[in-house]
A = this chain, B = another copy of it.
Amino acid sequence: MEFHLWKQNSTGARLGEIRSPHGVVSTPVFMPVGTRGTVKGLTPEDLHSLGARIVLANTYHLWLRPGADLIQTVGGLHRFMHWDGPLLTDSGGYQVFSLAPTREISEEGVAFQSHLDGSRYFLTPERAIQIQEALGADIIMCLDECTPYPATREYVQASMERTVRWAHRCREAKTRKDQALFAIVQGGMSTELRHACLERLTEMDFPGYALGGLSVGEPREAMLEVAAACLPQLPVDKPRYVMGVGTPEDLVELVGLGADMFDCVLPTRNARNGMLFTSRGRIIIKNNQHRDEDMPIDELCTCYTCRHYSRAYLRHLFMAKEILAYRLNTIHNLWYFLELMRQMRRALAAGTFKEFRAHFYQLRQV
């Protein structure tokens, strides 16, 4: 993997490019989440036509079902899910901490029960790498502990230090040369601990760095403060990935602060719950006011859904729990996020990011 930084503006916002074995990705980029090897309801062709260039898949989910060995047997995750573009897998840590009914963390790793059938698993840094090598994504992630919020300073520090030691073990365990291993900065909401983590990880010279442990319940201001404190301290020539964030407003702010990569279930999950993003804010499609509206979700949107379907039809599909509702809503919401990133990249290229940001907020106030 190579990273090229084309431009960086005075606020730190960056325009760049990731070159991976499966293709080139312009940054800043939003990665749709394909939890179990599918972005729910969409084919890879749908994703291509939305302009998605890199997809995230969850190691935890794929490890438990259908199993990493099985995926390796049938040719790896790219072939399995028929996605020939770049892929990123997480380490599985986040889901162990958020989904597993029981878990016990030690220096060696984390013992947990599957949320599917209660069976026992043990995830170590070495195992996380082994599984991600079997899956074969272009970018893989170090096993970390996603520090809960709130937590005592002692806990955050101990957890952060273990994350650093685990990052080292991940790097040692890695055998494949065609995958890029990113490290994850933890340290809770403490700028001091974040900086300490960041310093020790950058010494190990990873090809990319992520901020983890954000959007875990803290106030938005705390998240932005941590990002503002950390992003400028990360190596300028490596991609910077803010994990699990966020709203359209978060993306605009974080791009402004110099973030290059994002993933979030917000557009896809909310689509399935009938919450749709528009240039003027959000709409809830089941609301009665949309019952006979012969207009698209967003009159400024050019996505497939907005070009062909009325709010009245989308509300009908949603009320009837029709599968097509989830698909058409997902297409719209993902387009909204991916189009937002395209607009930001264009603005960065043109040197007009400040104006873009002002216009973005202005539309919401009308």
The residues of A with any CB-CB pair to B shorter than 8 Å are 36-38, 40-43, 65-66, 70, 73-75, 80-82, 291-292, 294, 308-310, 312-313, 315-317, 319-320, 322-324, 326-328
- The answer on a CB contact under 8 Å between B291 and A40 is no
Q: What residues of B have a CB within 8 angstroms of the CB of A327 in the complex?
A: 41, 43, 323, 327
Contact of A40 among B40, B308, B323 (CB under 8 A): B323
- The answer on a CB contact under 8 Å between B41 and A294 is no
- The answer on a CB contact under 8 Å between A81 and B40 is no
Given contacts A66-B315, A66-B319, A82-B309, 11 further A-B contacts (CB under 8 A): A37-B316, A41-B324, A41-B327, A65-B319, A65-B320, A70-B312, A74-B310, A75-B294, A80-B312, A81-B313, A323-B327
Q: What residues of B have a CB within 8 angstroms of the CB of A42 in the complex?
A: 324
Q: What residues of B have a CB within 8 angstroms of the CB of A73 in the complex?
A: 292, 294
| Given known A82-B309, A316-B37, contact A291–B323 (CB-CB < 8 A) | no
A80 (CB) vs chain B CBs: closest residue: B313
* Alpha-carbon distance A65/B318, docked complex (angstroms): 11
A316 to chain B, nearest CB (A): 4
What are the 6 tightest A-B residue pairs by CB atom distance, in nearest-first order? Answer: A41-B323, A74-B294, A66-B316, A82-B308, A38-B324, A74-B312
- The answer on a CB contact under 8 Å between B326 and A65 is no
- The answer on a CB contact under 8 Å between A80 and B310 is yes
A311 (CB) vs chain B CBs: closest residue: B74
List 18 contacting pairs A-B, 8 Å CB cutoff, sorted by A: A36-B320, A37-B313, A37-B316, A38-B317, A42-B324, A43-B328, A66-B291, A66-B315, A66-B316, A66-B319, A74-B294, A75-B294, A80-B310, A80-B313, A80-B316, A82-B308, A82-B309, A82-B313
- The answer on a CB contact under 8 Å between B324 and A65 is no
* Alpha-carbon distance A82/B75, docked complex (angstroms): 38
* Alpha-carbon distance A196/B6, docked complex (angstroms): 81
- The answer on a CB contact under 8 Å between A70 and B324 is no
A145 to chain B, nearest CB (A): 27
A315 to chain B, nearest CB (A): 8
Q: What residues of B have a CB within 8 angstroms of the CB of A36 in the complex?
A: 316-317, 320, 322
